[in-house]
């Protein structure tokens, strides 16, 4: 019996995360529709309880990487290539999952006066400065998106990190900020002439624009990002459960706590 995680000596490898990583490997090399090991098999292989194996599989299901059918099994999702839902991925992580090599071309990175949108998103007062980072984002060497990041001024230390090959979020974690939650929205617009040139597109091409606000571990908005993807090269996937038939008719509720 080994209640808790017991080990402690190792840095942090949680059991279900190990299992997740292992399954991700299988998914990456496997074919859509292919059956994955059952919960019982996973539990036996890793010498964990079935509930722990289950947690790993459910996490992958939440990400849309696998489909599950009761009685039948767990299968690699139909189109696990372009997936994305439930989990916010940084550009780097998003590309890695799609099997592409992410990189960046730094356009600029310095302190600037915050725009009204920056101030609104980050909750700043009227005359404020923010760290603005502009990058061209590449996948396997092909320009895919233009990114403009506005960070709180106290994050200036990230400018010392390698933002061409490394991940911005990794850099933020290194200096003590833990990106944890985000709200965002998607819209479409036309590329300006300069934008089209940077992305190697015909002028007035459509862009798929993702805007998002990211908070740190304390619920403070630290990052406001606009990423403009070349629409002909990028698709955002959503995997959803259909709206419930009813919002749950309710009766005989237990006593509400204080």
Beta bridge partners of 201: none
Candidates 181, 200, 203, 220; binder of its own copies (CB under 8 A) is: 181
Q: Estimate to the nearest angstrom the gap between the alpha carbon of 103 and the chain centroid.
A: 16
Asked if residue 34 binds DNA (CB under 7 A), the reply is no
How far apart are the C-alpha atoms of 246 and 258, rounded to whole Å?
Answer: 28
Structure tokens of 179? 């990106």
DSSP 149-170: EEEEGGGGGGGGS-TTTS-HHH
Candidates 11, 31, 70, 187; binder of DNA (CB under 7 A) is: 70
Asked if residue 254 binds DNA (CB under 7 A), the reply is no
Name the minimum Å distance from CB 211 to DNA. Answer: 26
Indicate which of DNA, its own copies, none lies near residue 74 (CB less than 5 to 8 Å, by partner kind): DNA
How far apart are the C-alpha atoms of 212 and 148, rounded to whole Å?
Answer: 11
Indicate which of its own copies, DNA, none lies near residue 175 (CB less than 5 to 8 Å, by partner kind): none
Radius of gyration of the chain (CA): 22
Indicate which of DNA, its own copies, none lies near residue 1 (CB less than 5 to 8 Å, by partner kind): DNA
Nearer to its own copies, 35 or 113 (CB): 35
How far apart are the C-alpha atoms of 10 and 70, rounded to whole Å?
Answer: 36
User: Taking contact as CB under 7 A, which single stretch among the options 2-10, 26-34, 194-202, 234-242 is the one that binds DNA?
Assistant: 2-10
Q: Estimate to the nearest angstrom the gap between the alpha carbon of 208 and the chain centroid.
A: 17
71 to 100: interface string for DNA, x by CB under 7 A: xxxx--------------------------
Candidates 11, 47, 125, 245; binder of DNA (CB under 7 A) is: 47
Candidates 68, 134, 212, 239; binder of DNA (CB under 7 A) is: 68
User: Taking contact as CB under 8 A, which single stretch among the options 20-28, 106-114, 130-138, 144-152 is the one that binds its own copies?
Assistant: 20-28
Asked if residue 14 binds DNA (CB under 7 A), the reply is yes
Residues 219-258 that bind its own copies (CB under 8 A): 219, 231-232, 234-245, 247-248, 250, 253-257
Do 18 and 5 form a contact (C-beta atoms < 8 A)?
no
Residues 60-89 that bind its own copies (CB under 8 A): 62, 64, 67, 69, 78-79, 82, 85-89
| 165: CB partners within 8 A, 6+ apart | 103, 104
DSSP-derived pairing of the beta strands 129-139 and 102-113:
antiparallel
Do 237 and 207 form a contact (C-beta atoms < 8 A)?
no
How far apart are the C-alpha atoms of 62 and 75, rounded to whole Å?
Answer: 13
Q: Which residues bind DNA (CB under 7 A)?
A: 1-5, 8, 14-17, 36, 38-41, 47-52, 54-55, 57-58, 68-74, 217-218
């Amino acid at each position: 019996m080994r209640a808790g995680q017991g080990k402690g000596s190792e840095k942090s490898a949680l059991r279900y995360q190990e299992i997740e990583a292992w399954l991700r490997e299988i998914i990456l090399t496997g074919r859509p529709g292919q059956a994955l090991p059952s919960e019982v098999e996973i539990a036996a292989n890793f010498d964990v309880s079935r509930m722990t194996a289950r947690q790993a599989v459910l996490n992958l299901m939440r990400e849309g990487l696998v489909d599950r059918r009761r009685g039948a099994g767990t299968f690699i999702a139909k189109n696990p290539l372009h997936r994305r839902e439930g989990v916010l991925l940084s550009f780097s992580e998003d590309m890695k999952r799609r099997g592409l090599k992410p990189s960046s071309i730094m356009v600029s990175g310095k302190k600037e006066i915050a725009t009204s949108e920056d101030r609104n998103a980050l909750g700043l007062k009227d005359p404020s400065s923010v760290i603005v980072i502009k990058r061209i984002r590449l996948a396997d060497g092909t320009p895919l998106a233009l990114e403009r990041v506005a960070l709180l001024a106290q994050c200036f230390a990230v400018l010392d990190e390698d933002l061409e090959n490394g991940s911005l979020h990794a850099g933020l974690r290194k200096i003590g900020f833990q990106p944890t939650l985000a709200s965002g929205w998607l819209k479409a617009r036309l590329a300006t002439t300069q934008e089209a040139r940077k992305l190697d597109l015909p002028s007035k091409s459509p862009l798929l624009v993702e805007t998002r606000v990211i908070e740190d571990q304390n619920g403070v908005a630290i990052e406001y990002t606009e990423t403009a993807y070349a629409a002909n090269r990028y698709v955002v996937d959503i995997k959803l459960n259909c709206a419930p038939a009813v919002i749950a008719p309710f009766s005989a509720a237990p006593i509400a706590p204080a």
